[in-house]
Amino acid sequence: MLCQWYAARALSGVRKEFPDAHVYHYMDDILVATPTQDELLRIQPQLLNALHSHGLQVAPEKVQQQPPWKYLGVKLLERTIRHQEVQFVQSVKTLNDAQKLVGVITSLRPYLGLTTAQLSPLFELLKGDTDLKSPCELTPEAQKVLEEVQQAVSARQVYRTEPSIDVTVFITTPDLHPTGIISQWNDDWTDPLHILEWVFLPHQPHKTATTLFELIARLIIKRQQRCLQLMGADP
């Protein structure tokens, strides 16, 4: 997208001058993270000047200096990440409504750890007639799952990465649905296991008959790709 390219161009000089800083931008949101507070204080005015020189304005009230930092639907705290509150569609009347609802919940799964088996009543809504206008409504089982999802959004969290600790990946197979856990372990922490993200396969298999070993192999590939995206290295 043109706006992404232009913003990247505006930020390129800052990225070169501060190679240890992480500067992420998406649409009109920019997230800056540095190893130290001093470096963050030094980079801020230069980043603002770089944006201004390219005709991009930043409203002072939009600059977030203290946690929680809100970015792309999540709240970043000192050590943890929580998803912001989500307004779910309560009235499902068509397949299109159900697809939108399931799409939102699928995007939340890396933060909530809700397994495929747990969400199966919602996935069942997508089966049958493929016409987007075909009638569809929440079953009592799906309604119960939706309530559990809403509770999980408020209560569950994942942890921010600690660069000095190795990343460990676990794979579990609840109800024969492989689930990946990208995590870090440190005996000195109050909670030794810090889950960074949950990884799931699509709820609809690519083949009608797929063995558990095939599913695990696919999940291994997916979690490796995700680790490369998150940390730039294999676990």
pLDDT over 70 percentage in the chain: 98
Residue 208, token pair as written in the block: 């009608």
Burial grade of 179 (CB within 10 A; 0-12, 13-18, 19 or more): buried
Locate the domains of the chain by residue range.
1-65, 95-155, 161-231
In 10 A of CB 38, how many CB atoms?
A: 9
* DSSP structural state of residue 161: P
Output 149-154 pairs: Cβ under 8 A, ≥24 positions apart: 149/88, 149/105, 149/108, 149/112, 149/114, 149/119, 150/86, 150/88, 152/108, 152/112, 152/113, 152/114, 153/83, 153/85, 153/86, 153/108, 153/112, 154/85
Which CATH number describes the domain made up of 1-65?
Answer: 3.30.70.270
Is pLDDT above 70 for 52? yes
Residue 15 to residue 23: CA distance in whole angstroms: 7
Tell me what pLDDT residue 207 has: 67
Question: Mean per-residue pLDDT for 128-152?
Answer: 93
Name which of 41, 35, 42, 38 is nearest 17 in CA terms.
Answer: 42
User: What mean pLDDT is reported for the chain?
Assistant: 91
Tell me what pLDDT residue 188 has: 95
Q: Which amino acid is at 96?
A: N
CB 12 within 8 A of CB 60: no
Question: Mean per-residue pLDDT for 31-47?
Answer: 93
Please tell me whether residue 184 adopts helix, strand or coil conformation.
Answer: strand
pLDDT per position as a tens digit, 157-210: 999 999 899 999 999 987 788 999 999 999 999 999 999 999 999 887 666 678
pLDDT per position as a tens digit, 77-110: 999 999 998 888 778 999 999 999 999 999 999 9
Stated as kind and residue range, the H or E segment containing 22 is: strand 22-26
Tell me what pLDDT residue 177 has: 87
Is pLDDT above 90 for 40? yes
Same fold, 1-65 and 95-155: yes
Give the CATH architecture of domain 161-231. Answer: Roll (3.10)
CB 20 within 8 A of CB 52: no
Report whether CATH 3.30.70.270 matches the domain 95-155.
yes
